[in-house]
Amino acid sequence: MTPEVSQQDNFLTYSRNQLNRLWNHLRSQGIYSAMLSGVDRFVREYTGLPYERFSRITPQIYLGGQPQAARLKALAARGITAVVNMRSEYQYPQETQWGAMKYLHLPTTDHTAPTLDHLFEGVTFIEEQVAKGGKVYIHCWEGLGRGPSMTAAYFISQGLSLDEALAKIRRVRRFIHLTPEQLDQLKIFSKALPEYEAEGADFSLKTETSRGDS
């Protein structure tokens, strides 16, 4: 297979995947939400950064799609001090310059739910960063399912019900679309939370920073 044919096949595969995503979004969310999602993605792919209009859930919690690794300094310039990556299919390059930003990778397959361990680990990490006055950017590929699951878990840990947590996110990012599996996992998380807090469980945080940052 020539490189030209391989590139064409990759482009066709990518195009089919995007059309399938668009169709599924139109079918499940309607045309208006699909349009907002498209705007969010266009801005992110054009600038390499999340569209703040659809990502600033609270002054401390941001949620969206994958930023470009080369634009992390610009993300830090917006005040982001920590990043939570929910993608199993992507890890930032080893040479990524994180500066003072903290990083947590909780690999989750697309359309599936984070494990309970990952939800508790992520919540603990986010709580620690917010307590220090930081701002956390939580992302998956498009900010529709895995990232919102982690964000909702954090809000539940702060006293909101599942419905309240999702409503809080949708006030800013109305086009999120959690799968039934992700919703069920958040219900399990909600029930497990009191026991977790009562036992004072302490998950070992695997934070990653740039070289030389202790």
What structural domains and CATH numbers belong to the chain?
55-208 (3.90.190.10)
pLDDT digits 0-9 by tens, 4-23: 556 566 656 655 665 666 66
- The sheet with strand 102-108 has its strands ordered as 61-64, 136-139, 82-87, 102-108, 207-208
pLDDT digits 0-9 by tens, 171-200: 999 999 999 999 999 999 999 999 888 876
The torsion angles phi and psi of 89, rounded to 5 degrees, stand at -90, 0
pLDDT digits 0-9 by tens, 33-75: 778 888 888 899 999 999 999 999 999 999 999 999 999 999 9
pLDDT band at 1 (very low <50, low <70, confident <90, very high): low
Burial of 71 (0-12, 13-18, 19+ CB in 10 A): middle
The CB density around residue 189, as the number of other CB atoms within 10 Å, is 22
The CB density around residue 150, as the number of other CB atoms within 10 Å, is 29
pLDDT digits 0-9 by tens, 80-122: 999 999 999 999 998 898 999 999 999 999 999 999 999 999 9
The pTM for the full model equals 0.82
Q: What is the pLDDT of residue 175?
A: 94
DSSP per position, 76-131: HHTT--EEEEEESS----TT---TT-EEEEEEE-TTSPPPHHHHHHHHHHHHHHHH
What gap in Å lies between CA 136 and CA 106, rounded to an integer?
A: 14
Residue 132: partners with Cβ closer than 8 Å, 6 or more residues away: 81
